[in-house]
Amino acid sequence: MSTEQPDANASVKCTVWSERDLIYDWNLVDSRRPIARWSRPVLFFDESLRDGIQCPSGVDPSVDEKLEILHLMNSLGIHSANIGLPAAGARAAADVERIAREITSEGLNIGPAAAGRTRINDIRPIVEISQKTGRSLEVMAFLGSSPIRQLAENWDLNRMVKMTVESIELAAKEGLPVCFVTEDTIRSRPDTLDTLFRAAMNSGATRLCLCDTVGHATPDGVRTLVRFAQSIIDATGNRDRVKLDWHGHNDRGLALANAIVALEAGADRLHGTGLGIGERVGNTSLDQLLLNLQLLGVIDHDLSNLTTYCRKISTATQVPIPVNYPLAGADAFRTATGVHAAAIMKAQNKGDAWLADRIYSGVPAGEFGCGQKIEIGHMSGASNVIYYLRERLIEPTEERVVRILEFAKGAGRTLTEKEVLDLIQEQP
């Protein structure tokens, strides 16, 4: 497990540990799980500027804010982004055009896509923007496919096939790539999906997007659906030409897990939004998906801007970040508990930043441009106060430590910096 090396300057021995010795990763023990032996590329599709801004508590950001978010997406290695639904109105169309021009003029690596219903009047504005900007836009042509949606819309299958074929053929004729999006796929009948998928592929679609539009799916359902869709692609001889997307929502709190299962089952492009914003309780959190796949060793992206991305989306949409939100929440790397703080300090005293960043954190803060924070509260010990004062170049005298700790125990919460400094000033 460990190796021992002689120290030329001392008679004692020091133990040198590898990272594997210090963290046994049960997440990767089962080699039967594809995620434990991942090798193929994973693509990410950001829906923040389209599906995300449908969040009922949010606002539609200005186009300048959208451009800032776009550049942050690009810095994170996100491959494609849905930049809007042009048929929604004049402003939506203008924003899509402006964003498409930005991608070209700035030489960004992110691929633009635009959404539209499987209707000629929705597809045509996407074609026109592509022609005006000289930039190919991927067409995300969506159609509700579940029986419950068919009943509400009074659609029969023949009409659905006609809508699918007409819209996809229009986009394909103009040379635009098309992703056929079946809304509520997870609650759709297999025979309906089979017919629609075949019609879409025959009309020129190069991607099928499987959607959990209302957050109904469980991991087992996702796995079964993805394998079913892949079997249709294989049966039609389209394995090399047609790829699979997964688009999930979080109504059952399973969106993140479902996205990882979809990847394992055969989807190659995963959709999400920054902070998971979207309709109702939102979409798959793209930032959490990137974080988890990075820690699992599936991807190797520069994610130092991930918290900046989250915060920008929060300010632009006016959707606050919960304090306990992973990575970007105010409490993500913050502790006021004595035992935790003492362990972090002991690791730091060893001069081992790697150890200090992981001793009480499953997410290493330093890998994402963050740092551990030790504060003072009712569960603190003397270690918290000593650390806190030294961080601020204040001498942790015994009197100061006792005074601050006694106040914290009575306060029943984490102290603010002003309270701590005031306590120091009040000392005789």
270-327 per-position pLDDT tens digit: 999 999 999 999 999 999 999 999 999 999 999 999 999 999 999 999 999 999 999 9
C-alpha distances out from residue 65 to 60, 70, 398, Å: 10, 9, 50
Look up residue 12 and give its two tokens. Answer: 């004692």
Average pLDDT over residues 2-17: 41
Distance of CA 101 to the CA centre of its chain: 25
Q: Which of 28-32, 229-233, 254-258 has the lowest mean pLDDT?
A: 28-32
d(CA 192, CA 142): 15
Average pLDDT over residues 226-237: 98
What are the pLDDT digits (tens) for 326-381? 999 999 999 999 998 899 889 888 888 899 899 999 999 999 989 989 999 999 99
The predicted structure's pLDDT at residue 142: 98
The predicted structure's pLDDT at residue 18: 67
Domains of the chain: 39-317 (3.20.20.70), 334-426 (no CATH)
C-alpha distances out from residue 101 to 89, 132, 369, 414, Å: 19, 9, 30, 48
CA triplet 111, 115, 116: central angle to 5 degrees?
150
d(CA 44, CA 36): 19
Decide if 103 contacts 78 (C-beta within 8 A): no
Is residue 416 scored above 90 in pLDDT? yes
Residue at token pair 């690009």:
74
Average pLDDT over residues 392-419: 94
Average pLDDT over residues 399-419: 95
What are the pLDDT digits (tens) for 167-197? 999 999 999 999 999 999 999 999 999 999 9
- In single-letter form, the type of residue at position 56 comes to P
What are the pLDDT digits (tens) for 35-51? 888 888 999 999 999 99
Sign for the CA dihedral angle at 71, 76, 78, 79 comes to positive
- In single-letter form, the type of residue at position 399 comes to E
Is residue 123 scored above 50 in pLDDT? yes
Radius of gyration of the CA atoms of the chain, in A: 26
The predicted structure's pLDDT at residue 427: 59
3-state DSSP assignment of residue 74: helix
